[in-house]
Amino acid sequence: MDIVKQQKPKEKAAVILSVFPPANCSDKTAMLKLPDQKQTMQTNPRFWRHCCALVPVLACLLVGSLAIAAPPPSPAQANATHHYSAEKSVALARAQIGVTLTYDSAYTMIPYPNGDVSKDKGVCTDVIIRALRGQGIDLQQLVHEDMRRAFAQYPTRWGQKRPDPNIDHRRVLNLETFMRRKGRDLPVSKNPHDYRAGDWVTWRLGEKQLPHIGMVSDRTAEDGTPLIIHNIGNGTQEENTLFAFPVVGHFRWPA
């Protein structure tokens, strides 16, 4: 038979108090002393002290439950909260020199969002993508979402029938279209002073008019022409190529 069930009310209370003594108990007599049954919650100071002690605990539980219930921000919202710095973009692009050593245009399945190929390889667009991603701005996600909204506004020369987050943001023509749709294109000029550090420049190379993109550096050649950080075939380099090819696009990410 259960021993506790055989105990009288005062005996059970004494057992409980012996295990969980009140904070102000200093001897065994106090542990066994029961409160006056005539005392009510309204006149018991210990009751109100306990209630006051529970207030911050309950507040924390409430805040925690609201935080759990709130949905995490979408990648688009996360992109919007990051502050862009042209100077940091240049530094992040330059940091790829000596890391990205080859040019590899092979189609590669990558995660989404924030997907990337191995850092030791890439194409010209990866210089831009990695420089912005280092600031929490994911062009893969931004371009993909815009193409989902307005696929017909983007080039179709690759025969795609729907957006592909593995490759779309890594194509120069798509980046040009994205930036123009966002109103971030600037006039093409032959004046080197019109190009600021962090700007994007696009060209068409050779007889096949191959699209190419690079970032304007904060360093200049001896004649004052800004250098370009890009990957044109031998990994990421910083070179005097701004006017080496016909410029067809000039873009600036907003600060």
For residue 83, what pLDDT is reported?
A: 87
- Give the residue range(s) of CATH 3.90.1720.10 domains in the chain: 76-251
Q: CA 94, CA 238: separation in Å to the nearest integer?
A: 7
pLDDT digits (tens, 9 = 90+) for 210-254: 999 999 999 999 999 999 999 999 999 999 999 999 999 999 999
The two beta strands, 121-122 and 102-103, are parallel
Res 97: pLDDT: 98
Q: Identify the pLDDT of residue 42.
A: 54
Residue 215 in contact with residue 229, Cβ under 8 Å?
A: yes
Per-residue confidence (pLDDT) for residue 255, from 0 to 100: 85
Q: Is the pLDDT of residue 23 over 50?
A: no
User: Parallel, antiparallel, or unpaired for β 226-231 and 210-220?
Assistant: antiparallel
If we measure between CA atoms, which residue out of 230, 227, 231, 250 comes closest to residue 240? 227
Q: What is the mean pLDDT of residues 41-52?
A: 59
Separation between Cα atoms, residue 32 and residue 52, nearest integer Å: 25
Compute how many other C-beta atoms are within 10 angstroms of the C-beta atom of residue 67: 8
Rounded Cα distance between 7 and 15, Å, is 10
**φ, ψ of residue 53 in degrees (nearest 5):** -70, -30
Mean pLDDT for the chain overall: 82
Per CATH, is 76-251 categorized as 3.20.10.10?
no
Contacts for 171 with CB less than 8 Å, ≥ 6 apart: 125, 155, 158, 211
Q: What average pLDDT score do residues 84-101 get?
A: 98
Mean pLDDT of 17-45: 46
Rg (Cα) of the chain, in Å, rounded? 33
Residue 52: what pLDDT?
A: 62
